[in-house]
Structure 1
Amino acid sequence: MAPYNVALMKSPPFDPQNFSFLIHDIARLQRREFDRKFADSDITVTPGEARALVHAARAGEVRQVVLADALGLEAMTLSAYLDRLEKQGLIERIADPTDRRAKLVRLTDAAYDVLRGIAEKGAEVREMARDKINDRDWEKLMKLLRQIRSNLHPDE
Structure 2
Amino acid sequence: MQDHRHDILEAAFPGESGRFFLSMRIGGTPDLADYGAALILDGTKTATSSPFSDYPDGRIPFAGALSVLLDGRERPVGIVETTGVETVRFRDVTEAMARAYGEGERTLAWWRREIGAWYRDKADHEGWRFSEHDAILWEWINVARRLQPGGATP
The structure that is strand-richer by fraction is 2
Instruction: Name the larger-Rg structure.
Output: 1
Decide: shared fold, TM above 0.5: no
The structure that is helix-richer by fraction is 1
TM-score (norm 1): 0.29
